[in-house]
C-alpha cells in the first residue's frame, strides 16, 4: 500500500475527478483517497490527490487559489457555458474589437459578484444544480463574491468569420468558475460566450511542473505518492518544531503554549514527523487536525 501523502496529478480530458480518485485507489491499493478540488471532465491539469492520512490536508488545499489557462469562444452561448453543452444562441462576433475584449475582461477582474454556472455541482435543497438542469428545471443560483487576482489576455484568434477565440490566463480564489467568466464576457460584449478549453496550471503552490500523468503513476504503482505527508505539510504551512513532551501532549489532542505564529501551521516532533495542524486562539495553540499515527 502507498504511504500517506499527496499526489499532484495532470488530469487528462474526458475523466471526472472521481474517475481519477477511483484509478488511484486501485494503484495505491487503499480506499482512503480523495481530491482537493473538482475539475470538470473537459478540463485538464493540476488535480491534487490525498492518500491515507493526507486526505485530511485536502480541506486546506481546496481553499487555495487556483490558476488556469483557458479559451473563450465569443459568438456562441451554450447551456453549460462550455463546449460540453448544446449551443443555445449565436450572434456574429467578428466585429468585436480587441479593445472591447480587453475592457470586458478587465471588468471581470478583482473582487466581483459572480453567478455560478447553472450546470455546476452546487447543491440546491440537497440536489446538485446540474442534475436539476438535466431534468429540465430552470435553475438560478445566487451570486457569490470571488476574487480574480489576475486575468491576462494572451491572444485573440479570428480563424472563423462569426466567432472569436480568446486565450486567457487566470489566477483566482477558490469557488471561481472560469466558465462563468466566459459567459459574462460574452454577455458584456453582446455576442454570448462559452469556454472551449480549460487547463488548471496551479493549485496553491502545486503546479504542472511537478504533476504526474496517470501513465506515470501506473508505471510506479503502488508507490504513487509524490509528496509524503510531512513534506506536503512543510510545503503548505508555516512550521513549528517541538520536543518530545509537547509532541506527546499534542498527539493526544492537548493544547500547547502559543508560539506567535499566524495559523494554521504545521507542528513537527523531534523525529521530524508531522503531529498536527494547529491554530492559536484564546492564548493556546490547539490542534485543528491531529495527524500523528494512532
Q: Determine whether 155 is exposed, middle or buried from the number of CB atoms within 10 Å of its CB (0-12, 13-18, 19+).
A: exposed
In this structure, the strands spanning 76-78 and 193-203 are unpaired
Our measurement of the distance from residue 140's CA atom to the centroid of its chain's CA atoms, rounded to an integer in Å, reads 23
Residues in CB range of 139: below 8 A, 6 or more apart: 118, 124, 129, 132, 133
DSSP 37-75: S---TT-EEEEEEEEGGGGGGHHHHHTS-EEEEEEEEET
- Selecting among 4, 40, 81, 165, the annotated active-site residue is 40
C-alpha cell at 285: 495553540
What's the rounded Cα separation, in Å, for the pair 185 and 104? Answer: 6
Q: Report the alpha-carbon distance of residue 115 to residue 107 in Å, rounded.
A: 15
* Dihedrals phi, psi of 289, to nearest 5 degrees: -140, 140
Helix (H, G, I), strand (E, B) or coil at 274: strand
- Grid cell, residue 63, equals 481553499
The answer to whether residue 4 is catalytic is no
- Please give the positions annotated as active site: 40
Amino acid at each position: 500500500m502507498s504511504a500517506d501523502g499527496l499526489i499532484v496529478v495532470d488530469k487528462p480530458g474526458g475523466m471526472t475527478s472521481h474517475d481519477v480518485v477511483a484509478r488511484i485507489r486501485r494503484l495505491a491499493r487503499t480506499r482512503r483517497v480523495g481530491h482537493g478540488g473538482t475539475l470538470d471532465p473537459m478540463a485538464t491539469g493540476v488535480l491534487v490527490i490525498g492518500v491515507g492520512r493526507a486526505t485530511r490536508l485536502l480541506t486546506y488545499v481546496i481553499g487555495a487559489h487556483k490558476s488556469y489557462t483557458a479559451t473563450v469562444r465569443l459568438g456562441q452561448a451554450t447551456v453549460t457555458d462550455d463546449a460540453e453543452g448544446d449551443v443555445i444562441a449565436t450572434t456574429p462576433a467578428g466585429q468585436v474589437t480587441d479593445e472591447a475584449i480587453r475592457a470586458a475582461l478587465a471588468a471581470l477582474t478583482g473582487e466581483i459578484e459572480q453567478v455560478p454556472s447553472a450546470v455546476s455541482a452546487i447543491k440546491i435543497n440537497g440536489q446538485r444544480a446540474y442534475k436539476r438542469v438535466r431534468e429540465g428545471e430552470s435553475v438560478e443560483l445566487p451570486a457569490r463574491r470571488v476574487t480574480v487576482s489576475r486575468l491576462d489576455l494572451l491572444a485573440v484568434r479570428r480563424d472563423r468569420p462569426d466567432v472569436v477565440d480568446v486565450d486567457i490566463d487566470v489566477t483566482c480564489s477558490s469557488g471561481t468558475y472560469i466558465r462563468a467568466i466566459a459567459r459574462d464576457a460574452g454577455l458584456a460584449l453582446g455576442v454570448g460566450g462559452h469556454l472551449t478549453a480549460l487547463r488548471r496550471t496551479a493549485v496553491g503552490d502545486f503546479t504542472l511542473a511537478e504533476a504526474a500523468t496517470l501513465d506515470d503513476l501506473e508505471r510506479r504503482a503502488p508507490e504513487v505518492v509524490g509528496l509524503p505527508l510531512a513534506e506536503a505539510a512543510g510545503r503548505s504551512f508555516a512550521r513549528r518544531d517541538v520536543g518530545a513532551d509537547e509532541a506527546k501532549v499534542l498527539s493526544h489532542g492537548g493544547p500547547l503554549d502559543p508560539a506567535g505564529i499566524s495559523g494554521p501551521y504545521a507542528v513537527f516532533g523531534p523525529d521530524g514527523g508531522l503531529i498536527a495542524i494547529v491554530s492559536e486562539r484564546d492564548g493556546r495553540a490547539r490542534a485543528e487536525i491531529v495527524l500523528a499515527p494512532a
